[in-house]
A and B are shown apart, each in its own frame.
Chain A
Amino acid sequence: MEAMEKLFIEPTRVTPLVSFDPEVSLLEIKGRSSPENSILFYERVLTLIDNFIESDSEGLTANFSFEYFNTSSSKCLFDVFRRLSKLEESGKTLTINWFYEEDDEDMMEAGEDYADLLDLEINFEEIEEF
């Protein structure tokens, strides 16, 4: 099976940083997400998770730290979490960390909503500043 490649997408004013390191099986999505075409942006993340499911890797750690995301991104994030849920169902171990800024309860609750709907175990971590 082909080894997975590293992925790094620089953050912009409207798109988050996306980083995937196959050596440590770590996926990070961080920043603001309000791209014009969310589905196009998150397509690479979804493909990456699909490939990870097919790979020999044992488990994945996914870190999410959002300052803000728009409605279409929230749908795409839902799809990302659904894929992660499939990854777990495939027998791989999955750790999801949801970071939110101090006092940003809205962002924490947004994470909780995803966890509730998809029955995912998400670790919530409050941090001082992104």
Chain B
Amino acid sequence: MDNPRELYHEEIKKLQDFRSRLESHSIYKEQLDEFSDDYEELVAQAKVITRVSDRLQKKLDSANLQIRSQNEEIKDKNVKLTETIDELAKAKVGRKAATIMLVVALVLFVLEQIIVQPYIEENFAGLFYLDYILLGGIFFLVKFFESRLEGYFVDSQKRKIIEEQEKQGTLEFSESQKK
């Protein structure tokens, strides 16, 4: 038995048989007719296979397009979801950070008034603006730490929200969204 592990092995075999007959000059009209029938069948086969493949490729192509558009949709939704989580986290922790920093600012101001200001008046009497520079410094320090603290709270709040959602099994998040 021939090894059939090649596509079109039957057609190839027929072609080989025909060629060997051709070489040995032992061709009859009957065999030519047979060969032309085989050739006709092969063309018909090729036409059908091409048509069927085109159809299924079209199907595959539309499926790919659909997947691509769904991916885009998922990406958009993910961006919106990340934004919502950010906003939610900011809203939840914004006030908390402001309160903490207000307390810190008050403490620093009181300390400055009670300890630092008398010290300046006693030792640097001529440098009256030193007190204002110090107060300005406290203001910028408080502002800087407020934004840092808010960032820290937002991140931990985001992680908390994501963990809760994952625990409930309602949503899945990528690593970049968790950061």
Contacts and interface: CB of A to CB of B under 8 A. Distances in A.
Chains A and B form a bound pair: yes
A106 B56 contact: yes
A79 B7 CA distance: 10
Interface string B52-96: 110110111000000000000000000000000000000000000
B7 A39 contact: yes
Contacts of B55: 106-107, 109-110
Interface stretch (A54-62, A67-75, A86-94): A67-75
A114 B48 contact: yes
B59 A68 contact: yes
Contact of A39 (B6, B49, B56, B60): B6
A117 interface: yes
Contacts of A113: 48, 51-52
B45 interface: yes
A38 interface: yes
A35 B110 CA distance: 79
B7 A107 contact: no
Interface residues of B, number: 19
A116 B49 CA distance: 12
Contacts of A69: 56
Contacts of A75: 7-8, 45, 49
Contact of A78 (B9, B48, B59, B60): B48
Nearest to B55: A106
A104 interface: yes
A68 B56 contact: yes
Interface string B22-65: 00000000000000000000001100110111011011100000
Given A39-B5, A76-B7, A110-B52, 16 more contacts: A39-B6, A39-B7, A68-B56, A68-B59, A69-B56, A70-B53, A71-B53, A74-B49, A74-B52, A74-B53, A75-B45, A106-B55, A107-B55, A114-B48, A117-B44, A117-B45
Interface of A: 37-40, 43, 46, 68-72, 74-76, 78-79, 104, 106-107, 109-110, 113-114, 116-117
Interface of B: 4-10, 44-45, 48-49, 51-53, 55-56, 58-60
